[in-house]
């Protein structure tokens, strides 16, 4: 089978590898389409250090089950599936209390099989989620990122009519925009410097779309919410947006960090702003418990994702696809297997 391998930073090669063996508790999936995630880019250019050669890029994939192990009970050959990429042991302190996101034996980028930028993947049954026939390939690759957004948005206290500012209009920001509308948010502002993303935010229902490189975000928001924004969702993953969020949020407001950050990134915060305004700041990692909810929302067409898939590439052109994703003039990029 064809499988991608990161042989050095910013260089993926397509190799011929044996099809993974199917152990007793695992299923073999023939991958059909795989999305490029922000974490893939962080590994690709070295901001998430990994041991090279590295075969595990790609986790936002849809495929069909072609073989199952003897102990597999819930999944059958022929079913269409997506996966939760976050393996958990079920035995450690955090797993036993239900916090599987913090499993001490968690494996995200170190699995027994290759990642989804390959023709086949072998993965533990407990990480596999069946999807209905009504869910297209293009929609299915958004299940995992939507589950992460759900984890974050569900943790917020979004009162009916609450004002929301989303800093960063990429995939996560545009999914968060739609989830906030479903929760009853009032005015929603999206700050995004890339034109294609601003236009998409407007099409998906943002009340105010701002280019922070050309417009004064503070002045624009002051006209919309003079007392400050109730909720800020940071989806850009850059230092300036964190600092900006503290200024924009109102007293007793909330800030959610939804972006994936490089491990060594540091920011400068003003503690007095957090204390004086009694701001609640929290982060979110993964969305394991929200996979089924994401499948349900997408199946009912309550979240629109097809327009977000702006480009598709073949597996042989994976480096070109990665470079396009890094260029920021796209939203979600899919890789056909």
199: helix, strand or coil: helix
Percent of the chain with pLDDT over 70: 98
Q: In terms of pLDDT, which residue wins out, 105 or 108?
A: 105
Check if the beta carbon of residue 230 is closer than 8 Å to that of residue 250: yes
Check if the beta carbon of residue 25 is closer than 8 Å to that of residue 17: no
Q: Residues 39-63: what's their mean pLDDT?
A: 93
Q: Which domains are present in the chain?
A: 2-146+287-336 (3.90.180.10), 156-283 (3.40.50.720)
* pLDDT for position 75: 97
* pLDDT for position 107: 66
Question: Which contiguous run of DSSP H or E holds residue 326?
Answer: helix 318-327
* pLDDT for position 109: 46
* pLDDT for position 95: 92
* pLDDT for position 76: 97
The model's pTM: 0.95
Confidence of residue 164 (pLDDT cuts 50, 70, 90): very high
């Amino acid at each position: 089978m064809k499988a991608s391998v990161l042989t050095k930073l910013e260089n993926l090669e397509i190799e011929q590898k044996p099809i993974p063996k199917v152990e007793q508790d695992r299923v073999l999936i023939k991958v059909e389409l795989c999305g490029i995630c922000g974490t893939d880019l962080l590994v690709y250019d070295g901001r998430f250090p990994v041991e090279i050669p590295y075969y595990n890029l790609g986790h936002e994939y849809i495929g069909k089950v072609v073989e199952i192990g003897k102990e597999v009970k819930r999944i059958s050959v022929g079913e269409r599936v997506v996966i939760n990429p976050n393996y958990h042991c079920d035995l450690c302190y955090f797993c036993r209390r239900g916090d599987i996101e913090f499993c001490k034996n968690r494996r995200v980028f170190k699995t027994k099989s290759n990642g989804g930028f390959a023709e086949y993947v072998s993965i533990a049954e407990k990480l596999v989620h069946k999807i209905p026939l009504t869910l297209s390939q293009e929609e299915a690759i958004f299940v995992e990122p939507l589950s992460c957004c759900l984890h974050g948005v569900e943790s917020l206290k979004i009162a009916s009519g609450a004002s929301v500012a989303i800093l960063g209009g990429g995939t996560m920001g545009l999914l968060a925009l739609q989830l906030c509308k479903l929760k009853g948010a009032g005015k929603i502002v999206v700050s995004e410097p890339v034109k294609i993303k601003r236009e998409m935010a407007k099409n998906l229902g943002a009340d105010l779309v701002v280019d922070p490189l050309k417009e004064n975000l503070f002045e624009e928001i002051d006209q919309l919410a003079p007392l400050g924004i109730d909720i800020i969702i940071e989806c850009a993953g850059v230092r300036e947006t964190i600092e900006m969020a503290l200024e924009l949020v109102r007293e007793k407001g909330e800030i959610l960090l939804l972006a994936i950050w490089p491990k060594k990134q540091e920011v400068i915060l003003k503690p007095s702003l957090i204390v004086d305004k009694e701001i609640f700041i929290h982060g979110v990692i993964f969305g394991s418990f929200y996979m089924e909810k994401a499948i349900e929302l997408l199946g009912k067409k309550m979240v629109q994702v097809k327009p977000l898939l702006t480009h598709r590439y073949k597996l042989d052109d994976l480096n070109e696809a990665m470079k396009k994703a890094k260029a920021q003039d796209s939203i979600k990029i899919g890789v056909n297997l």
